[in-house]
């Protein structure tokens, strides 16, 4: 299984099945009046001793229950390893039910040296859980490999486009919290890894949420909800939740400045490879409306938002085959 625990979304890929959920989490202090579905998870028993007897919500239900008090993995990079198991279970809950799972994971992290041990400790072992109203599931997890962010996307790219093999590749990973420039040798080894000084998509969402026009329209004097803004962008209808307000013009205004500043920094960071490498964009932010207009010679990888998870799945299969 390929596992991409991002600051904005958690994505898993296994065989013909994929699932994604928002990177949000809420522990419940008491039972809810009604079950909210498979994303309401009860940890019955297993290696995660600190979770035994606890119930938590993962993904959208966490925000439904506590709009302002849930845990967002985008708040701190360390949270992606600290809550890796809860995030993974939340994504698994969206896959077809199984009574027993045997999972060999390939997972990526922005700082393997710092967080590899934490990831293995939190993920590996046996976990007996209940997804919503389903029967208990026994999930056995081993970590086949922990890879630098971007490695999965690179493998996905050369698998989709074999003609890229043997070329120097610069990949620009447009993520929720960060934008990272990465250079890969013709043999696939990472030569360069440089996060930009400016942040990722979350900064665009926050700029839209605090836009005067949007705040006035909401009439509360408070910033807009970034999750509702994200949904409106993904759907490309730019509707704010269930209102009739269309924030398309606000998006276009802020997007222009957001992407222009980052393209400038990307060019500066990767200048020495400008005339030699093939430039690719991947990550969820690469799919934002209007990206093509500003990227120039940086080509967007098809289905770039899933590139890392799909590539990591290929890595997991390769490890298991050996």
Same domain, 220 and 107: no
Q: Alpha carbon of 102 to those of 88, 109, 143: distances in Å?
A: 14, 22, 11
The two tokens of residue 210 are: 């605090």
Does some domain include residue 134?
yes
Enumerate the H helices of 248-306 as residue ranges. Answer: 248-269, 291-295
pLDDT in the model for residue 157: 96
Domain at 226, CATH number: 3.30.420.40
Backbone dihedral angles phi then psi of residue 117, each to the nearest 5 degrees: -65, -40
Is residue 61 a contact partner of residue 94, using CB atoms and an 8 Å limit? no
- For residues 15 and 191, give the distance between their C-alpha atoms in angstroms, rounded to a whole number: 30
Same domain, 10 and 108: yes
Split into its structural domains, the chain has a count of 2
Q: Which residue did the predictor score with more confidence, 259 or 321?
A: 259
Same domain, 154 and 301: yes
User: The domain containing residue 70 runs over which residues?
Assistant: 2-148
pLDDT in the model for residue 281: 97
Same domain, 176 and 279: yes
Same domain, 157 and 300: yes
Residue found by looking up tokens 């962008």 in the block: 233
Same domain, 96 and 160: no
Q: What is the mean pLDDT of residues 286-310?
A: 95
213 CB-side CA count, 13 A = 12
Same domain, 199 and 139: no
Does some domain include residue 68?
yes
Same domain, 169 and 287: yes
Q: Alpha carbon of 129 to those of 35, 207, 216, 236, 301: distances in Å?
A: 15, 39, 45, 36, 36
Indicate if the pLDDT at residue 160 is higher than 80: yes
For 187, which DSSP code? T
Indicate if the pLDDT at residue 315 is higher than 80: yes
Q: Which helix (H) or strand (E) holds 104?
A: strand 100-109
Does some domain include residue 317?
no
pLDDT in the model for residue 209: 97
Does some domain include residue 313?
no
Same domain, 268 and 232: yes
Q: Which residue did the predictor score with more confidence, 113 or 100?
A: 100
Q: Considering only CA atoms, which of 242, 230, 244 is closest in space to residue 288?
A: 230
Same domain, 23 and 103: yes
Q: What is the mean pLDDT of residues 180-198?
A: 94
Indicate if the pLDDT at residue 220 is higher than 90: no
pTM of the model as a whole: 0.92
Q: Alpha carbon of 99 to those of 43, 96, 105, 134, 195: distances in Å?
A: 14, 10, 19, 9, 41
Bridge partners (DSSP) of residue 13 are 2, 18
* Last residue within a domain, chosen from 148, 175, 209: 148
Does some domain include residue 316?
no
pLDDT in the model for residue 10: 97
- For residues 31 and 25, give the distance between their C-alpha atoms in angstroms, rounded to a whole number: 16
Does some domain include residue 312?
no
* Last residue within a domain, chosen from 101, 118, 148: 148
- For residues 4 and 52, give the distance between their C-alpha atoms in angstroms, rounded to a whole number: 25
- For residues 301 and 278, give the distance between their C-alpha atoms in angstroms, rounded to a whole number: 12
Confidence of residue 231 (pLDDT cuts 50, 70, 90): very high
Same domain, 228 and 90: no
Does some domain include residue 135?
yes
Same domain, 47 and 144: yes
Does some domain include residue 199?
yes
């Amino acid at each position: 299984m390929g596992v991409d625990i991002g600051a904005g979304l958690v994505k898993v890929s296994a065989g013909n099945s994929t699932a994604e959920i928002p990177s949000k989490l809420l522990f419940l202090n008491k039972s809810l009046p009604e079950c909210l579905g498979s994303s309401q998870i009860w940890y019955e028993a297993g290696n995660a001793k600190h979770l035994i007897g606890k119930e938590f919500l993962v993904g959208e239900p966490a925000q439904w229950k506590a709009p302002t008090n849930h845990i967002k993995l985008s708040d701190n990079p360390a949270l992606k390893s600290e809550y890796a198991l809860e995030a993974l279970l939340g994504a698994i809950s969206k896959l077809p039910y199984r009574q027993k799972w045997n999972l060999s994971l390939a997972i990526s992290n922005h700082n393997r040296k710092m967080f590899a041990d934490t990831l293995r400790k939190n993920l590996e072992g046996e976990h007996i859980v209940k997804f919503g109203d389903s029967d208990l599931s026994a999930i056995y997890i081993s970590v086949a490999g922990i890879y630098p962010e971007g490695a999965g996307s690179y493998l996905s790219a050369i698998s989709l486009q074999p003609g890229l093999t043997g070329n120097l590749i610069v990949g620009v990973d447009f993520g929720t919290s960060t934008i990272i420039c990465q250079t890969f040798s013709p043999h696939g080894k990472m030569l360069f890894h440089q996060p930009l000084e400016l942040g990722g998509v979350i900064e665009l969402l926050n700029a839209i949420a605090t836009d005067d026009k949007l705040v006035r329209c909401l009439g509360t004097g408070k910033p807009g909800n970034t999750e509702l803004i994200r949904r409106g962008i993904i759907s490309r209808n730019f509707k704010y939740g269930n209102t009739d307000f269309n924030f398309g013009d606000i998006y276009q205004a802020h997007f222009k400045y957001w992407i222009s500043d980052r393209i400038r920094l990307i060019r500066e960071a990767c200048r020495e490879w400008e005339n030699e490498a093939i430039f690719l964009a991947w990550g969820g932010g690469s799919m934002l409306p209007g990206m093509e207009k500003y990227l120039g010679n940086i080509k967007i990888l098809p289905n770039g938002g899933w590139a890392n998870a799909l590539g990591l799945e290929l890595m997991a299969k390769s490890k298991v085959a050996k």
